[in-house]
Chain A
Amino acid sequence: GIQVEQSPPDLILQEGANSTLRCNFSDSVNNLQWFHQNPWGQLINLFYIPSGTKQNGRLSATTVATERYSLLYISSSQTTDSGVYFCAVEDNNAGNMLTFGGGTRLMVKP
């Protein structure tokens, strides 16, 4: 099956700093999503982005499908950005199966 690797696994930022999270995947995809898991466990949709660039407030994401990676940018980080960020992909032959990466655990310090 498709492999999904996220980096870095852990990240500590000072409030106000910017960061880039990376998601590499091993095959062509027809679905890529970024999620934020808050401290209570809920996974919040950030982006549905199989290709191209999208922006939502301080967050933006870019997927370069031909090179098999996606980037999540967080600008002017806030303590509420803390949590785990997951990338999930679905390859063209997977049917209804998203494969999740291992996540990036982000801590933003005040």
Chain B
Amino acid sequence: QSVLTQPPSVSGAPGQRVTISCTGSSSNIGAGYDVHWYQQLPGTAPKLLIYVNSNRPSGVPDRFSGSKSGTSASLAITGLQAEDEADYYCQSYDSSLSGYVFGTGTKVTVL
């Protein structure tokens, strides 16, 4: 049950900047729950990319950045590289559902 909405796809040329939105509601992001982002390379398991809205785990390039405002969050990739082609998911907690929720997912294509 995806209650967080993301664009199905975004694309950009190498070196460009792309952003992925994650839109929630007053029972999840708007209620103050933090947002995390995961990267899923083709055929592999998801990997944590950003935690608590804007923090990068060690090993994640600083090309990736996150932000949160109101009922939405965003992931930005600057200096897009071919290796960034993957699916990206946001995740938060929903008080109405009493459970964790994921975004619908966004496929990033490097042109």
Query: Is chain B found bound to chain A in the same assembly?
Result: no
